[in-house]
Every structure is written in structure tokens, then in C-alpha cells.
Amino acid sequence: MTPGRHRRTTNRLLVPLLLLGLSFGSASIAQAGPGGAGLGAAADATVVDSTGQPGRTVALTFDDGPNAGETSSMLDLLGEHRVKAVFCLWGQHVRENPELVRRIVAEGHVLCNHTMRHENMSTWSPADIRANLRATNEVIHEAVPGAEIRYFRAPYGAWGETPSVAADMGMQPLGWSLSVADWNRPGTDVLVRRLMGGISQGGVVLLHDGGGDRGQTVRAVSRVIPRLRDEGWRFTLPARSG
């Protein structure tokens, strides 16, 4: 066989092998996701409130943003400590701050639909719920085309028919195991005590980066993350299915 023919034959063999390798690599990536669930795992109507992982794991979630002040500060803080979190986005705020949604995604955090205007949907029909969630997703995708929106969280925890609608749209309903009522702004020291005393293994923590002045929340989280790390806690994401 001539050298030229040998190279052509080798190339013909290598191309299918490379394509096969890429296929296996893509499949492996699709299986890797938060809480041990794959990114492609189907959502269900169970409201998840844990990481789904054993031991000292905890997930941080932030509602009602994006907010030009506190969301930026929270992203700086999370980046400094290499913590990934879930941001539950208020559609109207996304319209006002699309660049922050792009930053949230670019820095590896996870998106959650939190309705267009923080509506209580507990008595809404499935059709009306779907229209609102679809509109919110569209606004998010205007800011970040193609971004994955893994979760839905009902404002006020007023679920009604929303879990089944959200799951049908591919979003896992996301609850929480600890809320420290940071919207009342009780003081940074109080929030630190509530967080340190209330976090449980596998817990999902509800906090806020929007909907008002959230400076106390930013300062509390800045103090709590290193303390939890020193105690052996690991920060992760909520489970992807119930």
C-alpha cells in the first residue's frame, strides 16, 4: 500500500471513531446534573425541597430578582466562594435587567421561573398558569436565548395547579426547607443566627436578591458561607425531580 493510500484509509477509519466518541461524550454530559439527576431528567409534579443528596449538603436559592444592586453583589460573593445557586426570576425584573440574567447564566448558576409579576396563582386555571409561565420563559429567553430554565417556584408558596403545569413544561416545582424571612429585614445578625440554626442536611434555603433592599441578605450570606464550609458543609443544587 502506498503512503498516500494508507493515510486516506486511516482517515476514513478515524472519522467514524471520532463521531462515535463525541456521541458517547455528549451522552455522558447529558447525564451529569444537580442533585444526581441528569439535565435531561424529566420534571415531575412533586415540589422538591431538598438536594436529594446525603450528608451535609445545602442549596441556596434567591427569589424576586434580578435587582441591579443586590443581585450584582450576590453574584460577586458567590463567585468569590465558588458557590452555585438557583435564581428564581421575576419576569418584569428580567425585562428591566436583562444583562444580569446573562451574567447569572454565564457564571454557571441555574434559572428558575418565578412568574411575570409575582402573582398568586393558587386559584388560577391550568390554561392561565401556562400562559403566564410561558410569557416569563419567553422574557428570560429574550435576555439569554436557549438558556435552560430548570425550576419553577410559586410566589408565596401558593401552588394550586402550578406544579403539574410547570412539570409538563419541563420545569421542576421548587420549594424550600428553610425560609429566614429576610424580606422583613430583621438585621444581618438575626439572619445569620436563623441560617446557622435552621439549615439541615440536604436542605434548600429560600433567600431574596430582589423585591426590595436585600443588603442584609448579602451581608448574612457572606458570613454564613465560610462558617458552613468550616463545618464541613458542601453547597450544591436542589434535586431535579421528586
Residue 198 corresponds to which cell in the numbers above?
435552621
For the stretch 42-69, what's the b/e string if a residue is b when 16 or more beta carbons lie within 10 angstroms of its beta carbon?
ebbbebbbbbbbeeebbbbbbbbbbbee
Q: Catalytic site residue 118?
A: no
Cell of 213: 433592599
Rounded to the nearest 5°, which phi and psi values hold at 115? 75, 170
- 141 among known catalytic residues: no
Q: How are beta strands 110-113 and 178-179 bridged, if at all?
A: unpaired
Q: Would you say 30 and 207 are in contact if contact means Cβ atoms under 8 Å apart?
A: no
- Marked catalytic residue, from 109, 182, 208, 209: 208
Q: Which residue among 49, 63, 64, 182 is the active-site one?
A: 63
CA distances in angstroms from 140 to 114, 133, 241, listed in the order given: 11, 11, 22
Altogether, the residues listed in the chain come to a count of 242
Collapsing DSSP to helix, strand or coil, 203 comes out as strand
What is the rounded distance in angstroms from the CA atom of residue 68 to the CA atom of residue 177? 27
Grid cell locating 146: 436557549
Computed on alpha carbons and rounded to an integer, the radius of gyration of the chain in Å comes to 21
Active site (catalytic) residues: 63, 208
